[in-house]
Structure 1
Amino acid sequence: MAPSDIDLTPLDKDAYTSSICQQRQAAIDNVPYRRAIDQWQPNSFEQLIDCIKGLSVNKNEIDQAWIIFYWISQNIRYDTQAYFANNIGSQTPTNVFLTRKAVCEGYSTLYADLCTHIGLQCRKVSGYAKGYGFNPRQTSFKRTDHAWNIISLKNGHSYFIESTWGSGHLNPSTNQYKAKLVPHYFFCRPEHMIYEHLPVDPQWQLLEHPLTMEQFLKLPYTYHTFFELDLNIVSPVCTQKVSLEPGQSYGEVLIETPTNDVELSGSLHDESNKKIEGGDFLDFDWNRKVWRCRFAPKKAGNHTILIFGRRKSDEENLTLGSAVEFVFDIDHLPTNPISYPFTYGSFHEAKCYLFEPLNGVLKPGSKIQFHCRIPGAHEVNLTIDGQWLSGNSASYMSEDYIYQREIQVEQKEVAVW
C-alpha cells in the first residue's frame, strides 16, 4: 500500500518466522503465567526481581519478555496527575515500583532494567509518538515526547516492546486513564510500529528505508485494532488525507480485509467533533473484495473520518473498536450535499449491495429507481410511509438477484424488507 516515497519494508525480513510468531502467541495466551503473576505480592523491588527470575527459569526468551510485560501491564498505572501538572517525579525503576505509577520514561526504564536482571538484552528508545494530544493536522513535534523499548534476542533478531501503550490509554474525552492489556504492543512489527512511533535515531525504526518526519506525519492515524484485524488501505495510499471524489460531494476510503469475518463501520465528524448523521455509508463490494467506506460532509470545512472494526466471530466483544482515522478537509462542495440511507446489520450479513439511491433524503413526490443486489432473496417487499407496496416482487428480480423497481416517494420514508 506504500507509494514510491514511503517504503515500510522491515530491515530484518527473517525476524517474524512462524516459530517466533507461534512462541509469541503462546506466551500471550499462557493462562498459568497470568495466574502466577497475579498472585505475586512483592514488598520490594528486589522481591519482584526474584519473582520474575523464579517464573523465568528454563523458559524461552519470548516467555521471559512476556512475563515482564504482563506484570507491568497489571501493576503500573499511567501517572495522569503528574503528566497534566507537568510535574514528573523520579522515573527510576525502584521509584516506579514503589509508587506503581509512571509516565512513558518510567515504563520503558523499568522494562529495560527488569530485562537486564534476568539476562535479556533490552534498550530504551526515545522519539515521537502519535499518542494523547496528537493532532493529525500538525506538521511537526516541538520536542521528543515518548519512550519505548527494543529487545534483542540471542537469535540475533530485535523486536519492539511498548509497555506504556500495552498497559492502557488516556481517554481524550475525560482525561482519565483506562487500564487495558494490549498484546499488540508486545513484539510489535516495525511496519506497524512506524505508524505511531518515530525514533530520534532512524536506525531504531528497524526499517530498510527509514522514514523522515514528514513521511511519518503523512501516515494515517491508526489504532491497534487496525493491525489486529490485518486491514489494508487500498485507497488513499499511505496518506491520512481523504479528498472528494471527482465532481462528487463525498470522499471514499477502500479497505481490504483478509477474511469475511471482519465487520467495519464508520462515522464522520465536523470540526466541533459533532457526528454528522447520514454522513457515512460503508458496504462490502463482493466483486472487488473491498470495503467501500464513503463519507459525505454537509458543508465545507475540516472533518475527521473514523473507521471502526471487529471480528464477527468474536462473540465476547460486540463493540467495534477504533481502527483508523483520516483527515477530510473540504474547501467547497461541487454538488449539493447528500445524506446516506440507513442500513441494518442484516444488509451486510446477506451480502447486499445498494447501487441506488445513495442519497437517503428523497424528494417527496419524486420518482426514483431502487436498484440493489440481494443474493438468495426470493421475495423483496417495500413500504412507503408504512404502507406495503403491491406487486409481484419476483418480477423485479433478475436471475443474478439484482432487484430494480421504480417507485414514487411520498412524505415520510421508504423501507426495504
Structure 2
Amino acid sequence: MINRKITFIFLLLSVIFLHSSYSQKYDAVDKLVQKYPKSFSTTDDLAERINKDFKDDIDKARAIFTWIAFNLKYDYASFLNPPKSQGFSYSNEAEKQKKLQQLDDKIIQKAFKSQKAVCEGFSLLYQNLATKVGLKCEVVKGDSKTRLSDIGREKLGSDHAWNIVYFDGKWRLIDVTWGQGYYDGNKGRMVIDFAPIYFDADPDYFFAKHYPDSGTFLNSKISKDDFLNGPLIYNKTIEGDNKIKAPKSGIIEVKNGDKVTFEFKNISKTDQFYYLNKKNQPVRVQNGKERKGGLEFQIVIDNTIGNYITFFLDTSSIASFKVVMK
C-alpha cells in the first residue's frame, strides 16, 4: 500500500511539473505579446514584430494565437445578421482562385482594422499571419457542437471555421475564435475569456466539438456518429482532462427507474460534483467509487430528471447528456 502511494505521488508530481514547465513556456510568450500595441498599421508589421521576438515555430504560432485572442472580439451582430454572399463571374480556374483570394483579403483587412470578426475572419487572419512568419497553415470549415440541442442532432451543418498549423513535425489544431471567449446567453453578450486549450488542442476533445466538412483529419476518418451523438463537453472538461469513460453515447435511452453508470476521469469522491434535476436543483453525487484516476457512479433516471442531465464540478459544467425515456 505504501509503495502504491509513493508511486501515485511520484506520478502526480511528475504531471504537475511537466504541466508547470509547459505553462511557463507559454506564459513567457503570452506576457510578451500582451505588451504589444493593441493595433498595428498592417499585418506585415505585426508579423515582422513576431519574427523579431520569437525564433521557434511553436512560439510564433502561439504569439499569433494570443495576439488575436486578446485584440479581436467576436462580432455577434454580424453572426445574427450575416452579409449577403457576393457572387462573381470568372472565365477559368486561375481567375476564380484570384477572385476568391481577393474576397478573403477583404475579410482579413476588415477583421484586422475593425478588430471584430466572426470565425471566418479569425481563421483567415490567423492563416495570413502564420504564412507571413513562415508557418504552413490552412483554414478548415465545418460544424460545431455547443448547445444541448446539438446532442443527437440528425444532420451536419457548416457553421464554423478553425485552423491547422504545422510546427515541430506535426499538424496542430487551433481555434482562435473560441480562444478569445464565448457568448453568454444569460447576459446576452460576448464574454472575453482567454482559453488556451484551443491552441494545439487535443484531437480527442477537439473533435467532440468540431467536425470538418471533409470528415477527415490527416487522412484519418472522423466518426460522424460520435460527433452528433456524443455527450456535450465544455471548456472546463478539457482544462481538467475530465474525459468521459462511460457512457460513450450522449443519448441515454432508459425506462423510468433505470440506473445508468457514469465514469469521469480526474474526479474524486471529495470533489463538489453534482448534477441538476429538472427543477434546476443541485443533486450531489453520493455513491461514487474511485477507479483508475476517476470516479464511477450510478444515477437513477426517473421523473425528477429532465430531458437533459448536466454534471458540474464546483460551479463549472463538465458534461451534458440527452435523456430519452422508452
Shared fold, TM over 0.5? yes
* 1:295 Cα offset (Å): 4.0
Q: Distance in 1 between matches of 2:114 and 2:269?
A: 43
Say whether the 8 Å CA contact 1:268–1:303 is kept in structure 2. Answer: no
1:150 aligns with 2:161: no
- What is the match of residue 211 of structure 2? 198
* 1:64 Cα offset (Å): 0.7
Q: Which runs of structure 2 are paired with 1:237-256 in the superposition (5 Å)?
A: 238-244=248-254, 248-256=257-265
Q: Which amino acid aligns with 1:173?
A: N
Relative to structure 1, the CA distance from residue 201 to residue 249 in structure 2 (aligned partners, 3 Å threshold; closer, same or farther) is closer
- What is the match of residue 73 of structure 2? 77
Q: Which amino acid aligns with 1:227?
A: I
* 1:290 Cα offset (Å): 4.2
Task: Report which of the two has the higher share of helix.
Answer: 2
Q: Which amino acid aligns with 2:27?
A: D
Q: Distance in 1 between matches of 2:123 and 2:318?
A: 25
Alignment TM-score, normalising by the size of structure 1:
0.61
Q: What percentage of aligned pairs have identical amino acids?
A: 23
Q: Distance in 2 between matches of 1:99 and 1:324?
A: 36
- What is the match of residue 140 of structure 2? 125
Relative to structure 1, the CA distance from residue 287 to residue 212 in structure 2 (aligned partners, 3 Å threshold; closer, same or farther) is closer
Q: Which runs of structure 2 are paired with 1:161-200 in the superposition (5 Å)?
A: 161-200=174-213
- What is the match of residue 57 of structure 2? 61
Q: Distance in 2 between matches of 1:64 and 1:21?
A: 20
* 1:249 Cα offset (Å): 4.9
Say whether the 8 Å CA contact 1:27–1:62 is kept in structure 2. Answer: no
Q: Distance in 1 between matches of 2:174 and 2:270?
A: 27
Q: Distance in 2 between matches of 1:202 and 1:160?
A: 15
* 1:123 Cα offset (Å): 0.5
Relative to structure 1, the CA distance from residue 132 to residue 77 in structure 2 (aligned partners, 3 Å threshold; closer, same or farther) is farther
Q: Which runs of structure 2 are paired with 1:223-372 in the superposition (5 Å)?
A: 223-236=234-247, 238-244=248-254, 248-257=257-266, 263-270=271-278, 274-275=279-280, 277=281, 279=283, 281-286=285-290, 290-296=294-300, 299=303, 303-309=307-313, 320-331=315-326
Q: Distance in 2 between matches of 1:127 and 1:166?
A: 17
- What is the match of residue 119 of structure 2? 104
What secondary structure, in the 3-state scheme, does the structure 1 residue paired with 2:236 have?
A: helix
Q: Which amino acid aligns with 1:182?
A: A
Relative to structure 1, the CA distance from residue 230 to residue 298 in structure 2 (aligned partners, 3 Å threshold; closer, same or farther) is same
Select 1:87's aligned residue among 83, 101, 104. 83
Say whether the 8 Å CA contact 2:147–2:232 is kept in structure 1. Answer: no
Relative to structure 1, the CA distance from residue 299 to residue 248 in structure 2 (aligned partners, 3 Å threshold; closer, same or farther) is closer
- What is the match of residue 31 of structure 2? 34
* 1:262 Cα offset (Å): 8.1
Deviations 1:179-221 (A, max 9, x none): 1111111001222211011111133x2474x234233212211
* 1:42 Cα offset (Å): 3.4
* 1:76 Cα offset (Å): 0.4
Relative to structure 1, the CA distance from residue 27 to residue 69 in structure 2 (aligned partners, 3 Å threshold; closer, same or farther) is farther
Q: Distance in 2 between matches of 1:98 and 1:177?
A: 19
* 1:94 Cα offset (Å): 1.5
Q: Distance in 2 between matches of 1:66 and 1:232?
A: 25
Structure 2 unmatched runs, 5+: 1-17, 86-102
Q: Distance in 1 between matches of 2:30 and 2:193?
A: 17
Structure 1 unmatched runs, 5+: 1-19, 310-318, 332-417
* 1:138 Cα offset (Å): 1.6
* 1:44 Cα offset (Å): 1.4
What secondary structure, in the 3-state scheme, does the structure 2 residue paired with 1:138 have?
A: coil
Larger Rg: 1
Q: Which amino acid aligns with 1:55?
A: D
* 1:85 Cα offset (Å): 2.1
Say whether the 8 Å CA contact 2:137–2:165 is kept in structure 1. Answer: yes
- What is the match of residue 390 of structure 1? none
Question: How many residues of Structure 1 are paired with residues of Structure 2 in the alignment?
Answer: 289
Deviations 1:123-163 (A, max 9, x none): 0011111136852232113x31111000012x431110110
What RMSD in Å do the two structures reach over aligned CA positions? 3.1
* 1:255 Cα offset (Å): 1.9
